[in-house]
């Protein structure tokens, strides 16, 4: 191997390394800057544990999103599944007095049913996933308003709150570790199972995957059902965090989750939706917003930050993909 080839290989290796870990470096840089500017508020263990624990719901929703995205499908109904999941727990447990675990089971069953419905309309009638999940999400929003009578419902049992936010490990609420375990599970499926490989093949080329013998319909259905189940889990964690449910809570998670999903696809495994990149992107966005708020920036910066981050994240994702047109 001549010197020019060796130099090109080293250069390519450095670029690859920079792409994989640039988001980590940016996150650490933000932490350092905000810690220097606001050491008495930002650089504290209390603030760190709050950030890690409070964003577990967003991590779970983002993990749910990247599953169908990997197979080239959207699921915008996931945020409304979250809302209805939390509301079912509040109604069944808080209002009707049934066991909290019966309420949790009902929420998971609802998530499964919504996933099946989404998968049926998308794969059987071959309707664009964005249209179907937007429609089912809007339907779920109306159902949530009906079930709750458009009111916030409290009274959720302490048992759920204990296992979600009250009990802590190393000062961090247990909900953070639940999100971490789900992240490990998704990573294992993506990287080490045949299912994960099939999802990637289907996402990269649905017709080519079908001609290669992959049951693309089955893969897409499984991804959509898994996404809805993750939304239901997010609702359970939300209910355990708040001790209540309000009928519009889930909508605030949709834009940040998409921003984190696309931003995460530029990190760790550039060019792919991946769980570690997604989780890292969630905390990158949240650290940025938290630091700006501590510096006295008005709260409306959150929407500006998430909206700008989504456009930037998709742009960076396209650059990593070589500006290949995405066929969703």
Helix boundaries (H) for the chain: 3-37, 45-54, 56-70, 78-89, 100-124, 129-148, 158-161, 174-192, 194-204, 206-211, 216-242, 251-264, 275-294, 301-320
pLDDT at 322 over 70: no
pLDDT tens per residue across span 83-108: 999 999 999 999 999 999 999 999 99
pLDDT at residue 326, as a whole number = 53
Grade residue 325 by pLDDT with cuts at 50, 70 and 90.
Answer: low
User: Residues 283, 314, 277, 31: is their CA dihedral positive or negative?
Assistant: negative
Residues in Cβ contact with 305 at an 8 Å cutoff, skipping those fewer than 6 apart: 285, 288, 289, 292
Examine the pLDDT at 315 and tell me if it is beyond 80. Answer: no
Provide DSSP, 24-38: HHHHHHHHHHHHHH-
Mean pLDDT of the chain: 89
Whether the Cβ atoms of residue 167 and residue 176 lie closer than 8 Å to each other: no
Q: Indicate the pLDDT class of residue 302, thresholds 50, 70 and 90.
A: confident
pLDDT of residue 298: 72
Helix axes 45-54, 56-70, angle to 10 degrees: 40
What local confidence, expressed as pLDDT, does residue 3 receive? Answer: 56
Pairing of the two strands 168-169 and 172-173: antiparallel
Please, which pLDDT band fits residue 43 given cuts at 50, 70 and 90? Answer: confident
User: Quick one: pLDDT band at residue 121, thresholds 50, 70, 90?
Assistant: very high
pLDDT value for 328: 47
Query: Average pLDDT for residues 52-78, to the nearest whole number?
Result: 96
Q: Is the pLDDT of residue 305 over 80?
A: no
pLDDT at 42: 86
Given a contact cutoff of 8 angstroms between Cβ atoms, the answer to whether 77 and 131 are in contact is no
- The band of 25, judged by pLDDT with boundaries at 50, 70 and 90, is confident
Span 307-311, mean pLDDT? 76
Domain ranges of the chain: 29-320
Provide the pLDDT confidence category of residue 74 given band limits of 50, 70 and 90: very high
Q: Give the pLDDT of residue 6.
A: 53
Q: State residue 40's pLDDT score.
A: 87
Percent of the chain with pLDDT over 70: 90
Specify the higher pLDDT residue, 328 or 197: 197
Quickly list DSSP for 91-129: IIIIIT---HHHHHHHHHHHHHHHHHHHHHHHHHS---H
Task: Find the farthest-apart pair of alpha carbons in the chain and give their distance in angstroms, rounded.
Answer: 76
Would you say residue 1 has pLDDT above 80?
A: no
Q: So what's the pLDDT on residue 26?
A: 85
| 66: Cβ contacts below 8 Å, ≥ 6 apart | 186, 261, 264, 265, 273, 274, 275, 278
pLDDT at 268 over 60: yes
Lowest mean pLDDT among 12-21, 121-130, 166-175, 198-207: 12-21
Q: How many CA atoms lie within 13 A of 41 on its CB side?
A: 11
CATH architecture of 29-320: Orthogonal Bundle (1.10)
Choose from 34-48, 158-172, 261-275, 309-323 the range with maximum mean pLDDT.
158-172
pLDDT tens digits, one per residue of 5-21: 455 445 555 556 767 88
Q: Torsion angle of alpha carbons 167, 173, 177, 178, nearest 10°?
A: 80
Hey, is 152 helix, strand or coil? coil
Q: How many residues are recorded in the chain? A: 328
């Amino acid at each position: 191997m001549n010197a020019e080839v060796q130099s090109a290989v080293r250069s390519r290796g450095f670029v690859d390394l920079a792409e994989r870990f640039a988001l980590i470096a940016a996150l650490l840089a933000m932490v350092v800057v905000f810690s220097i500017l606001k050491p008495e508020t930002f650089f504290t263990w209390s603030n760190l544990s709050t950030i890690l624990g409070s964003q577990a719901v967003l991590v779970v929703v983002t993990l749910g999103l990247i599953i169908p995205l990997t197979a080239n499908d959207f699921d915008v109904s996931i945020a409304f599944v979250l809302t209805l999941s939390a509301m079912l727990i509040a109604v069944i447990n808080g209002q009707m007095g049934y066991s909290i675990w019966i309420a949790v089971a009902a929420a998971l069953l609802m998530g499964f049913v919504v996933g099946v419905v989404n998968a049926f309309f998308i794969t059987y009638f071959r309707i664009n996933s964005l249209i179907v999940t937007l429609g089912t999400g809007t339907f779920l929003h109306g159902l949530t308003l009906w079930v709750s009578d458009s009111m916030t419902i409290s009274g959720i049992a302490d048992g759920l709150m204990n296992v979600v936010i009250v009990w802590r490990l190393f000062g961090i609420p247990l909900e953070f570790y639940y999100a971490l375990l789900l992240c490990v599970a998704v990573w294992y499926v993506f990287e080490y199972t045949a299912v994960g490989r099939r999802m990637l093949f289907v996402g990269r080329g649905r017709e080519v995957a079908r001609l290669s013998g992959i049951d693309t319909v089955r893969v897409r259905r499984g991804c959509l059902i898994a996404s809805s189940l993750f939304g239901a889990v997010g609702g359970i964690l939300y209910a355990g965090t708040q001790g209540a449910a309000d009928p519009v809570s889930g909508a605030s998670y949709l834009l940040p989750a998409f921003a984190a999903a696309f931003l995460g696809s530029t990190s760790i495994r550039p060019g792919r939706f991946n769980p570690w990149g997604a989780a890292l992107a969630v905390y990158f966005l949240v650290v940025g917003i938290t630091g700006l708020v501590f510096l006295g920036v008005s709260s409306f910066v959150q929407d500006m930050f998430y909206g700008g981050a989504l456009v930037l994240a998709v742009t960076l994702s396209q650059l990593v993909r070589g500006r290949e047109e995405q066929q969703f």
